Amino acid sequence: MLNRIRFAPALVLVGALAATPACASGAYVYRGDRPYSGGYYRNVEQIAHENGYREGRKAGEKDGRKGRSFAFDRHDDWRDADDGYRRDYGDREFYRHEFREGFRAGYTEAYNQFARTNGYYRRY
């Protein structure tokens, strides 16, 4: 019994050290349920985000200037999230996710810049 108690902390330490290199190596980034390594996917991620950001800015500015409520998810561009997608980009759902992230960021920024109510800026 005493031997088991003495080795328990050592086993926990070994287990923690064995798991650390897999997490800290930076070789893979997990997106959803699958890993990918930089390179081409990183470029697709950037393209999708920039396309979404650009479309989100347009929609956010338009809503802010017209005094509409803050709601990026009412826009078809956000729901479809495939503007600029090409088949050679691979996984459409990955592209859609990154497009939506960019759209939300662009919409929020533009809406906050242009929305006014009663002389005060609305911030979201």
User: 18 CB contacts (<8 Å, ≥6 apart)?
Assistant: none
Helical spans, DSSP H, in the chain: 2-24, 39-66, 76-80, 92-114
Of 22 and 76, the one with more pLDDT: 76
Angle 26-84-64 from CA coordinates, rounded to 5°: 95
pLDDT of residue 117: 56
Average pLDDT value for residue range 3-22: 49
Q: Is the pLDDT of residue 96 over 60?
A: yes
pLDDT of residue 116: 72
- Phi-psi category of residue 86: left, alpha or beta, with phi > 0 → left and psi -120 to 50 → alpha: beta
The string of pLDDT tens digits covering residues 29-68 is 434 444 444 556 679 999 999 999 999 999 999 999 999 9
Q: How far apart are CA 16 and CA 19, in angstroms?
A: 5
Cα distance from N-terminal residue to C-terminal residue, the chain: 59
Q: How far apart are CA 51 and CA 95, in angstroms?
A: 10
Q: In this structure, is the dihedral angle defined by the CA atoms of residues 57, 62, 66 and 72, taken in order, positive or negative?
A: negative
Point out the least confidently predicted range of 1-10, 14-23, 56-65. Answer: 14-23
The string of pLDDT tens digits covering residues 81-93 is 898 999 999 899 9
Of 122 and 26, the one with more pLDDT: 122
Q: Is the pLDDT of residue 71 over 90?
A: yes
Q: How far apart are CA 45 and CA 17, in angstroms?
A: 32
